[in-house]
Structure 1
Amino acid sequence: MEVGTKNPVLDLEALRVSISRTPSVLVILSTITAYIVKVFDKKPASFEVKKFLESKRFYLDFLASVGPALNSALTKKSWLSTNYVTDWWEEYVYLSSRDSLMINSNYFGLGTERIPSNRGTSRIAGYVWSILKWRKDALIDGKVPPIKLQKLVPLCPMQYKRAFGTNRAPGKDKDNLVYNEQSTHIAVFHKNALEFAIDSVQKSEPSEADKINHLPAGTALSREKWASLRDVLKSDAQNEASLAKIENALFHVWLDDEPANVVKPASMVEFARRCLHGSGQNVWFDKCFSVIASSNGHIGQNVEHTWADGAVMLHITEEVQVLEHLMIEYNPETGTILGKDVKSNAKMDILKWNSLEKTLEQISKELSTIADEITNLSLSQLSFSKFGKNEIKKWRLSPDAICQMAFQLTNFKIRNKLSMTYEAALARLFKDGRTETIRSCTTASAAFVKEMLDKNSDNQKRRNALKAAVTNHSELTKHAMVGEAVDRHLFALCVASRGLNMEHEFLNKYKKC
């Protein structure tokens, strides 16, 4: 489906240029000292002295040997790049991974419980129109103001530029993120065929020659296997052209023939699984994002992780839903879109394929492995309705920090131990920033857990412990957001040590931690 010409994103790029560069590379001594404190912070009263002394010996040797040289290399890299972490982060955390994208990397999102139409084809038509409207307003015409932290500080918009027309192409040793700025079409999956229109799936059925069957399952394989199969596909000119249409699309739409009822927790989990992994044979996991449309109007998404972090996709989704609410009117009885009949000039086509039998046969041999990965996944959903963020804000506490403390308490109740915990903080205050690590398990959170489980404690002591833990967590979050945390610095040191062949046991232990 053709949707318009792509113009340069001038306003977006101008905003990106105005964002501050990544702060200077941290002093290596302060980073490593802070790291050691954080590692042993989770057991302040009884940490293992032997392990601490061993770690101290490693980090002192690191500081006295290869550490300064590696940090100097990072400093030089920071002079030559807008962000000394992001390119390595995308390459080594995402693109170099050889695991399947399904479940391991891609993530899912669900729409709202209340939907404006339960007529599936009408709802997805309105939703896709809203996506394209947002894209035009924000990325082409520059009419959408940038998102700002506390409504004051603009965040780097780099990731938004890659929201459309981006595909993760598999490679033997490393994948490539391919961004097609000239993309003007959408790939629509329905049953066993690929099309370029929202409504045409009800008008005709594909011929046997045009069916792709379980070809999308190739994207659920390990990256080496999919790269090999993809090379075979591209050896045929017709198949290469059809594959290019899939990979160059603005985004994908999967028209699901099954209804979804996300009001009930059990049904919400079922629809969440359809968005996260589907059958393992229907979602094209390489694509920047795929809209999953149920037959009764519920919407979900499957999102490839390399091009952007979850907060970016969440923001786009919220904006799209607002546009749909304001600009699309559905008939309350039939669910169809109200308005004047407009003759569509959309170009529609079913992709053609030549001799897919051998490729499909190779993929068929892996379907049991894909099915096992899906079966081995445990996914649950908790509906908490006693109070929400508005109530927490009345306490003058951070809703996010409250949730993190709840995780710490729950984890201890289940496992009877404290665990090192990762939470992502946005690093988009700086140009091309992605995320930084918040280490949520701290002395303060441990004290809160202890107070909550102490039968001799009282509510006032527990409130005080909670407030102290939340305050400490909020401070950690601020440090992470302004470039004063330790993990991305240590990650960059690990990459530099590998590239310069300057390995050290301290960094090896950090990678395993």
Structure 2
Amino acid sequence: MAEAHQAVAFQFTVTPDGIDLRLSHEALKQIYLSGLRSWKKKMARLKNSFITGVYPASPSSWLFVVIAIMGTMYARVDPSMGMIGKIKEHLPVSGYLSHQGQSIVSALLFSTGLWFALIMTMRYILKQLLSYHGWMYEQHGKMSATTKLWLTLVKIFSGRKPMLYSYQASLPRLPVPSTKDTMQRYLDSVRPLMNDEEFKRMTALAKDFEVKLAPKLQWYLKLKSWWASNYVSDWWEEYIYLRGRGPIMVNSNYYAMDFLYVTPTPIQAARAGNTVHALLLYRRKLSREELKPSRVPGSIIPLCSGQWERTFNTTRIPGLETDTIHHYTDSKHIVVYHKGRFFRVWVYHGGRMLNPKELELQFQHILNDTNPPLPGEEKLAALTAGDRATWAKARSAYFRSGKNLQALDLVEKAAFFVTLDEDEQGLRTEDPIHSLDAYAKSLLHGKCYDRWFDKSFTFVVFKNGKVGLNAEHSWADAPIVGHLWESMLATDCFQLGYDDNGHCKGPADSTLPVPQRMQWDISDECLEVIQSSLNVAEALAADVDFHAFPFNDFGKGLIKKCKTSPDAFIQIALQLAHYRDKGKFCLTYEASMTRLFREGRTETVRSCTVESSNFVKSMADSSATNAERLKLFRLAAEKHQLLYRNAMTGAGIDRHLFCLYVVSKYLGLDSPFLKEVLSEPWRLSTSQTPIQQVELFDLVNHPEYVSCGGGFGPVADDGYGVSYIIVGENLINFHVSCKFSSHETDAHRFGKHIRESLLDILALFNLQKA
């Protein structure tokens, strides 16, 4: 086979005259180029680490300090106040240097020490400045003199030309709230969900916990906050994600969709070529730290960029009690799944990245391959869709050696996983409702065996050229994947493009090795485990009710005219929709980020408040006037904004309570209060997908290039999961999920209530749509 010959660096035969050695110059050339690329990457990482390590100063500033110190010395001024002389006296190599040489070396050492001291001082000042969050609580459009001064100082101490991770060491640590504040905020959050008797009982439980057990748990938590970079994130990753033993498909993984109205090319291989190349370009920028550091939208305030590190070359490894995340420094291949077969595709050749046209040919070769799957190969990935312990036992029993170990190693070390899907998906004008629902379900779970759910993400290319993505959740949160997705879509359409026939542009090297079929040896016992996992996954997938729909009656353009936050507007509309859907209020989860702090991930905004409940009740009260309802709405919106700001600035409720609970388990202490709080179900789980790179898309001149966003499965068996993305000025895309098995929920019914609630709230303002 051609690919087998490409893999051989040299051949030899034993003859009567000795060993006949025949070297393959092409193979040796590839080895040399591969090694050269590897060393270049190592040197680039070393350089970037140094530049990031001295930020907010720059390496060139060291030379400036040295020249300044040397200049003052020649002017017979000692800026070190005797320090240079002391260093000179204790130089270990003084016997080998002249008097002048000793002076120069001592001055260099002092200058370097002074330079590092200045760096640490600037970094400390910047960290203290970034610990101030008063700017978040000021009225929109108005800025106090204090905040203006603060912003000026932040700009001065932020340095110039930061790289992706430049601000990491300057970010403050997540503070531990006081237990008194957390208890009060918790009780406020559950008040609309309880009657007087229930609330009285919960208040007593909270007060008892606050007085008796909380001080001891809080002491341990503060100790951790002083020692660790973030007192929440490592426990959150381990206990919320990695220790879960149920399927991660539907329950944890989430998805992202393609453009809503545009498909750049209907040719599957061509779309795969461009988009995979765009993803690889993003990976190269990431490895070189050329991506701009993450910031609060529209400001200079940095956010933690730590989650970007594991975007590529990452997989989740199953374990009996807990999973682990493995991140590899580099990967030169991707793994592609098509019609039940696994292929390894090299993405580098001759020391360079394959261009889009070359990748198109690679994918076309796979599409043209008519060989059937090996026994057990087709549904193998169902192991990643079922229970984690089952997968861990199977991995240990059947994938420890031979072909299976080699093939699994290729999957887990791949840059990412690609599925060339046999179905056609996307919005169809003749059936817009069901086509988007099917598209969402396909990305969320597919056939339960055609996505590798353990990879950091599985990239899906459908037969008609539509694309999508299924992301594993433990390694990072949705904004990180969203940033990748925005860049990929923009690069695909506006930079790479297609020729007139819909194929990738550019030349192709005809000598490239073709994709290599991966070999598996699946035993009958392993086949039974695969089928068992598939049964579990298919039952879970069949129970998912999904409704994805665009809401284009109005968008943030009109909401801004209401002088309220678009997010608060939508969240209150969701409260109204839920009340109309179920006739009651429920504990509501809205995801907020805590990336103003180092290694920050998420916090919960409890969107169901006393204020929002009062507004919802007024909408159901025929005797209430619109003026009264509008007043209650503004109070609810203000309260929601306050809760969101509290969550972002480390004054949330749920992460603190979660960590107190973890400490109590480590200490073997039982808390009825914490046990009850942590067992409360989130029957309405919501999340906004932010658009982080608005400059990539010109929605004024090209309104058709709008993202459809993404979604996730329901958190509670009898609840709803709602994801939404605010696109441009006139569109909001919603993704609603629930379970068929619950008689209380219906995704399409809830979608109808969301539409009606948004329109009914807007009507209170008596605005005319633009």
TM-score normalised to structure 2 length: 0.63
Within a 5 Å distance, the mapping from 1:165-180 to structure 2 comes to 165-180=313-328
Aligned to 1:231: 396
CA distance in structure 2 between the partners assigned to 1:208 and 1:166 by the alignment? 26
CA distance in structure 2 between the partners assigned to 1:344 and 1:450 by the alignment? 70
1:503 CA displacement: 1.7
Aligned to 1:367: 534
Across the aligned residues of Structure 1 and Structure 2, the Cα RMSD in angstroms comes to 2.1
Determine if contact 2:460/2:467 at 8 Å carries over to the other structure.
yes
CA distance in structure 1 between the partners assigned to 2:503 and 2:165 by the alignment? 39
1:110 CA displacement: 0.7
- Indicate whether 1:274 and 2:442 are aligned: yes
Gapped runs of 5+ residues in structure 2? 4-29, 50-162, 346-362, 681-770
- The 1:347–1:396 alpha-carbon spacing in structure 2 relative to 1, beyond 3 Å, is farther
SS at match of 1:186: strand
CA distance in structure 1 between the partners assigned to 2:611 and 2:212 by the alignment? 34
Determine if contact 1:167/1:286 at 8 Å carries over to the other structure.
yes
Moved more, 258-267 or 427-436: 258-267
Determine if contact 1:210/1:350 at 8 Å carries over to the other structure.
no
CA distance in structure 2 between the partners assigned to 1:129 and 1:255 by the alignment? 15
Aligned to 1:185: 333
SS at match of 1:402: helix
- Indicate whether 1:36 and 2:177 are aligned: no
CA distance in structure 2 between the partners assigned to 1:249 and 1:208 by the alignment? 20
Aligned to 1:94: 241
Moved more, 496-505 or 56-65: 56-65
Aligned to 2:562: 395
Determine if contact 1:236/1:354 at 8 Å carries over to the other structure.
no
- The 1:28–1:401 alpha-carbon spacing in structure 2 relative to 1, beyond 3 Å, is same
1:95 partner letter: L
SS at match of 1:283: coil
SS at match of 1:436: strand
SS at match of 1:292: strand
Q: In the alignment, which of 406, 409, 412 is matched to residue 241 of structure 1?
A: 406
Determine if contact 2:237/2:474 at 8 Å carries over to the other structure.
yes
- The 1:239–1:266 alpha-carbon spacing in structure 2 relative to 1, beyond 3 Å, is same
Aligned to 2:458: 290
Aligned to 1:350: 517
SS at match of 1:148: coil
CA distance in structure 1 between the partners assigned to 2:557 and 2:433 by the alignment? 23
Determine if contact 2:247/2:537 at 8 Å carries over to the other structure.
no
- The 1:365–1:419 alpha-carbon spacing in structure 2 relative to 1, beyond 3 Å, is closer
SS at match of 1:167: strand
Aligned to 2:169: 17
CA distance in structure 2 between the partners assigned to 1:163 and 1:336 by the alignment? 28
Gapped runs of 5+ residues in structure 1? none
CA distance in structure 1 between the partners assigned to 2:511 and 2:600 by the alignment? 41
Q: In the alignment, which of 11, 19, 26 is matched to residue 177 of structure 2?
A: 26
Determine if contact 1:405/1:470 at 8 Å carries over to the other structure.
yes
SS at match of 1:380: strand
- Count matched residues: 506
| Identity score, percent | 32
- Indicate whether 1:215 and 2:366 are aligned: no
- The 1:282–1:483 alpha-carbon spacing in structure 2 relative to 1, beyond 3 Å, is same
Determine if contact 2:418/2:458 at 8 Å carries over to the other structure.
yes
CA distance in structure 2 between the partners assigned to 1:171 and 1:449 by the alignment? 46
- The 1:118–1:203 alpha-carbon spacing in structure 2 relative to 1, beyond 3 Å, is closer
CA distance in structure 1 between the partners assigned to 2:652 and 2:511 by the alignment? 53
SS at match of 2:460: strand
Determine if contact 1:206/1:350 at 8 Å carries over to the other structure.
no
Determine if contact 2:365/2:514 at 8 Å carries over to the other structure.
no
Q: In the alignment, which of 455, 459, 473 is matched to residue 622 of structure 2?
A: 455
Q: Which has the higher contact order (CA 8 A, sep 6+)?
A: 1
1:13 CA displacement: 3.8
Aligned to 1:413: 580
Determine if contact 1:166/1:288 at 8 Å carries over to the other structure.
yes
- The 1:441–1:193 alpha-carbon spacing in structure 2 relative to 1, beyond 3 Å, is same
Aligned to 1:321: 489
SS at match of 1:313: helix
Determine if contact 1:119/1:335 at 8 Å carries over to the other structure.
yes
CA distance in structure 1 between the partners assigned to 2:514 and 2:178 by the alignment? 57
Aligned to 1:310: 478
CA distance in structure 1 between the partners assigned to 2:288 and 2:512 by the alignment? 22
CA distance in structure 2 between the partners assigned to 1:492 and 1:152 by the alignment? 31
Q: Which of the pair has more CA radius of gyration? A: 2
Q: In the alignment, which of 290, 299, 308 is matched to residue 160 of structure 1?
A: 308
Determine if contact 1:196/1:347 at 8 Å carries over to the other structure.
no
TM-score normalised to structure 1 length: 0.94
SS at match of 1:253: strand
Determine if contact 1:180/1:248 at 8 Å carries over to the other structure.
yes
Deviating 4+ runs (over 6 angstroms):
1-4
